[in-house]
Amino acid sequence: MTPLEALHQAAAALVAATPALLGFAAYPVDAAAAPQDAVGVPAIAHLVADFAHVAPTDARGIFTAAVLAAAPLARWQHTYSEAEVGADFLARYGWFELAGPDGHFRTDALRAYVAYWGRGLQYDWHEHEAEELYFIAAGSGLFRSARQPDAMLVAGDTRLHAGFERHAMDTDRTGILTLVLWRGAGLNGVPAMSPKA
C-alpha cells in the first residue's frame, strides 16, 4: 500500500469513527486512485515539525501520522495569491485534495481536502458555495463566522459552514491540521476572499 493509499484508508476510518463527519458525508473509500505528480510546498516542513510527535493511537492520530507520511507524495496547492494573503502565509499553508473530482482518489460525491496552516496566521474572511465541515486532526485554531460565535477548536472538534457563510480562522501558538469535507452545490467552485467592507 502506498502512503497515499494508507492515508485514504485512514481518512475512511476517521470518518467512520467520528459521528459528526459520518453525518455530513460518507467517505468514498472505494474511489479509484488517480495517480498525480507530487507538488510540494514549503509548509510541509512546518507540518512535520508541528505534528511529528502525535502518537498514532486512535483514528485521529493514525490519520495525522498518515498525512505526514504521504505529504511528500501529495499534489499540494494554494488557493490564493501572494497579493491576497502575503508571502509568509503562502510559505506556511497548503492543502491537497485527497478524494474528489480532482483528488488523488476520484469521486463526484464530495471533496475531501487535507489542509494545514502554520502558527500565528490569520486566514482572512472568505466564502464559497459548497457546504463545508472542518475536522481538527491536530493543533488548534480560532474559528470565526458571520453566523456563529467564535470558537477555539482543538483536535477532535468540528465546525460546519453553510453555503456562502463567510468564515475566517486564526492560528496562535500551534499550527492546525484539518480534514475538510465539501458537499452539495458548488462542489466545483473555489473559495474566494470576501470583499472588504
**Site residues, Zn ion (CB under 5 A):** 132
Instruction: Report the nearest approach of Zn ion to the CB of residue 167 (Å).
Output: 6
Q: Which is nearer to Zn ion, 97 or 132 (CB)?
A: 132
Distance CA 37, CA 35 (A): 7
Q: Which is nearer to Zn ion, 59 or 126 (CB)?
A: 126
Q: In the structure grid, which three cell numbers stand for residue 153, read together? A: 477548536
| Chain position carrying cell 468564515 | 167
Beta bridge partners of 106: 32, 100
Q: In the structure grid, which three cell numbers stand for residue 133, read together? A: 465541515
Q: Which is nearer to Zn ion, 56 or 166 (CB)?
A: 166
Instruction: Report the nearest approach of Zn ion to the CB of residue 175 (Å).
Output: 18
Residue nearest to Zn ion (CB): 132
CB crowding 112-149: b at 16 or more within 10 Å, else e: bbbbbbbbebebbbbbbbbbbbbbbbbbbbebbbeeee
Instruction: Provide the 10 A C-beta neighbour count for residue 54.
Output: 20
Instruction: Report the nearest approach of Zn ion to the CB of residue 165 (Å).
Output: 8
Q: In the structure grid, which three cell numbers stand for residue 185, read together? A: 452545490
Q: Which is nearer to Zn ion, 129 or 132 (CB)?
A: 132
Instruction: Report the nearest approach of Zn ion to the CB of residue 2 (Å).
Output: 28
108 secondary structure, DSSP code: S
Instruction: Report the nearest approach of Zn ion to the CB of residue 91 (Å).
Output: 21
Q: Which is nearer to Zn ion, 105 or 134 (CB)?
A: 134
Query: Cα–chain-centroid distance for residue 16?
Result: 17
Q: What is the pairing mode between strands 105-106 and 93-100?
A: parallel
Instruction: Report the nearest approach of Zn ion to the CB of residue 126 (Å).
Output: 6
Q: Which is nearer to Zn ion, 124 or 172 (CB)?
A: 124
